[in-house]
Homo-oligomer: A and B are copies of this chain.
Amino acid sequence: MNIRTLCLGFLSMQEASGYEIKKELESGKFSHFADASFGSIYPALTQMQAEGLLTVRSEEQSGRPDKKVYAITEMGLVALAKNLSVIPARDKFKSEFLFEMLFQKFLSKEHMDLVIEKQHADLTEDLARIEEKRRSNEHNNLGEGPRFVMGYGECIFRAAIGFLEAQCPRLKKSKNQAAE
C-alpha cells in the first residue's frame, strides 16, 4: 500500500491538509501500522488533485501560511475502493530491537537494560495512545473498521508488554510505582 492510497483513505474519513495528515499519522488511528513523511505526502496530494481524485481549498490564516485543505472526490473514492480490492501483502515487521536481542551475547548488561526499557516504554506509549482514542470515542460509536484495528493493536501491544514484564520483572515494579 503506497502513500497515495494512505492519503485517499485518510481523506475518505475527513478533509485535511498535508500537514494535518502527517500529524495524525504519527498519533492517530494509523500510527501503529503506517507512516509517511512530508516529502512524500505533499507531492502525492498535488498529483492526485491534478488527476481529479482530490479537490483543494485554500484556507487563509492570520499570521500563518495558507492551509491547503484537500477533500476526496467521487473519482477518488472509486480509486480508493479499487486499491483496497487487492489481497494485502503479508505484514512486514521490522524490529531492530529483536535483532539486538538475538545477538545479546555481544552486548553489555547496561546496554541491554537500556534497550529493553526503551522497548517497554515504546510499547506502553503505543498502547496508551490506542486506549486514549478508545475512551475519547466511546460516546459516538465507532465504525466496525476502526474498532477492529484498535482491538488488534491493543491485543498485540498487551501481549508484547506482558512478555517483556515476564522476562524482566523489574519493568513491572517501575510500572506499579508510577501508578501509586
A interface residues (Cβ-Cβ under 8 A, vs B)? 1, 5-6, 9, 12, 29-30, 32-35, 77, 80-81, 84-85, 87-107, 111, 114-115, 118-119, 122, 143-146, 148-149, 151-153, 155-156, 158-160, 162-163, 167
Contact of A104 among B87, B89, B96, B144 (CB under 8 A): B144
How many whole Å from A129's CB to the nearest CB in chain B?
13
A1 proximity list for chain B (CB < 8 A):
96, 99
Contact of A92 among B29, B94, B158 (CB under 8 A): B94
Contact of A107 among B84, B122, B151 (CB under 8 A): B84
Docked pose: A17 CA to B1 CA in angstroms: 32
How many whole Å from A161's CB to the nearest CB in chain B?
10
